[in-house]
Each structure stands twice: as C-alpha cells, then as structure tokens.
Amino acid sequence: MAPTAIYDLKTGSAVLTKARIQQIRDNLPEAFRNVPIYEVKP
C-alpha cells in the first residue's frame, strides 16, 4: 500500500521548514517523493 500523505509532528514553536521537507523527501523511495507532507501541531 502506497502512502497518501506524510505527517510531521511539531511541538512548541517548531515549524515545518522547506529544509525539513527536503530532508524527508530525500529519504523516501523515488516513487513517493511527491506525497504531500503536512505539519501537525497538537
């Protein structure tokens, strides 16, 4: 089953940066590098 989204949990004042998004994408298989990445704040 292929992922349809990736969620990155952030707490406090942390934010999802373009650099972090690129880091996540760089570690995904090529076929999944266009999956949307969302920031989640509790």
Q: Measured between alpha carbons, how far is 2 from 19 in angstroms, rounded to an integer? A: 24
Q: Can you give the pLDDT at residue 1? A: 83
Expressed as residue numbers, the domain containing 31 is 6-40
Tell if the pTM clears 0.75, that is, is over it.
yes
Q: Can you give the pLDDT at residue 32? A: 95
**Residue carrying the six token digits 């999802």:** 16
Is position 11 within any domain? yes
Is position 1 within any domain? no
pLDDT in tens, the chain (42 residues): 889 999 999 999 999 999 999 999 999 999 999 999 999 999
Is position 24 within any domain? yes
Q: Can you give the pLDDT at residue 13? A: 97
Domain count for the chain, please give it. Answer: 1
Q: Can you give the pLDDT at residue 36? A: 98
